[in-house]
Amino acid sequence: MLAPEPRHDGSDEAAARYREELRRWQQGPLAKGLAYGERRERFETGSGIPVEPLYTPLSVEDDDPVADQGFPGEFPFTRGIQPTMYRGRMWSIRQYAGYGTAADANARFRFLLANGQPGLSVAFDLPTQMGLDSDDPRSAGEVGQVGVAIDSLADMEALFDGIPLDRVSTSMTINAPAPVLVAMYVVAAEKQGVAPGAVMGTAQNDVLKEYVARGTYIYPPRPSLRLAADLIAYCSRTAVKFNPISLSGYHIREAGSTAPQEMAFAVANACAYVQAAIDRGVAVDDFAPRLSWIFNTHTDFFEEIAKYRALRRLWAELMRDRFGARKPQSQMLRTHTQTGGSTLTAQQPENNIVRAGIQALAAVLGGVQSLALSCYDEALSIPTQKAQRIAVRTQQIIGEEIGVTNTVDPLGGSYFVEALTDELQRRATALIEEIDRRGGAVACIESGWMQEQIQAEAYRAERAVVSGEKVVVGVNRYTETDEADPTPIFRADERVMNEQLERLRLHRASRDEAAVRAGLDALGAAAREPSADLMPPILDAVRAYATLGEICGSLREVFGGYRPPVSI
């Protein structure tokens, strides 16, 4: 049933009366209240945006409801990318999981699917993220510790054993070696009889943010951008249901940025990828509908809700005006979000259940398409099955019990939320313009400017916690606790490294070495040709069962490694 038409009294007399009544309230009740003082000298969001004592129609009087908010499913998508949003379909529950060997992670995936999670999100161990094999000396002590170890196509086949890749969508948090891992995923699907065009999922593939936030890069920025663009082009032509890149603000926020910095730096990086794909001859409307995002949801409730609304509007306007995208799907910002891992505390870890629940609620009210909760024990270890189940159940409670999914954009029209939406977009846009003046995202990464901005904000935020200006319950206030009931901690099995090393040894002994060498040589030759598409030789090397370390090593011989700029 359609809502009744709203009543409007747009007369100058009504507006004047409102202003007069507001002045009366400010000079009377508010002034008297302020005479007794407030709890803080200033009130602001987690990103330092000042918060007024009251928001009124005058706070958003310059807004055009049609141009600025529009309607759900229509440009500029401020109110959501679908007309019915969660009334039609719930967000995807996609808990982040993976550890140990492929067989270990496969068992956890089956557990999550059995508990109502419809899609998968794969965590890879650090050697895999760095393009190293498990027997590389640099991998010692890290194999299977913070994610699953993947050395070859054989491991990818084992990881998804018994999981139909034409029916389950898989998100992979992998960046520098993303083209190789996606190639392994596509070929593993082929082994199941699934064509590349039927494979569903997302690869993070946002290596530019690695230089500013996480550090799991392999090559210098420009060849890394080339690889990312080749994967985008491949998916737009062949793996058409697979999202070739998940543009990431998440890790930028985890590194200490503000919400406007998270927005601006992620969008600036995205512009670099979009331009690189266009430069490869792919029309923007052919690949932009498959672009997806991942952002971080922190604890400042209203700022996070407003952030997603501002992001959708910012991206829609930018895709239309800068890149000439015409399809509505090309202008939509479709995003996964994970609640803030950096907001979790090792002290009183059960409090993290509340933190993640509030953050998840903000993400839902902000209109995200996919959601994962950082588990309550994540500050201590890899999450236990109990913690993973609580995270899934939290999402199900939000979706099924509390009524927030019954209407679209329920906080749309809130004076506070609309004012915050506008301010976040203004601040992010100013940062994007500064990045453009400095030569774009890659230039700002190469100079170290973007990294310095994040580091400065992270230092400011940490000082606020240490001084007590920012309260973290259980850490710098309300610290009493009962140590008699410790939180159960997941312990990685010490057998993992030995088992993975033996598996890798047997793998190398059983494959066709001549085919491996031919595949790696062809890849190296293609890498030396600046205009060559690298996905076909990567796929051939994967099919020959070359290892991840061998494939990335072949590219490293051509592209070299990367040393970050030194900040002074």
Q: How far apart are CA 361 and CA 356, in angstroms?
A: 9
User: C-alpha dihedral over 87, 89, 93, 94, to 10 degrees?
Assistant: -140
Is residue 333 within 8 Å of 81, Cβ to Cβ?
A: yes
Task: Specify the pairing of strand 170-173 against strand 92-93.
Answer: unpaired
| DSSP 8-state code for residue 499 | H
Mean pLDDT of 57-63: 91
Compute the radius of gyration of the chain from its Cα atoms.
25
- Can you say whether residue 132 is alpha, beta or left, with left for phi > 0 and alpha for psi between -120 and 50 degrees? beta
pLDDT in tens, 473-487: 999 999 987 766 667
Provide the sign of the torsion angle of the four alpha carbons 248, 254, 255, 261, taken in this order.
Answer: positive
Mean pLDDT of 525-541: 97
- Average pLDDT of the chain is 92
Q: How far apart are CA 384 and CA 116, in angstroms?
A: 17
Under 8 Å CB-to-CB from 279, ≥6 apart: which residues? Answer: 229
pLDDT in tens, 441-454: 999 999 999 999 99
pLDDT of residue 61: 87
Residue with tokens 């019954």: 406
pLDDT in tens, 65-83: 999 999 999 999 999 999 9
pLDDT of residue 564: 83
Provide the sign of the torsion angle of the four alpha carbons 512, 517, 519, 520, taken in this order.
Answer: positive
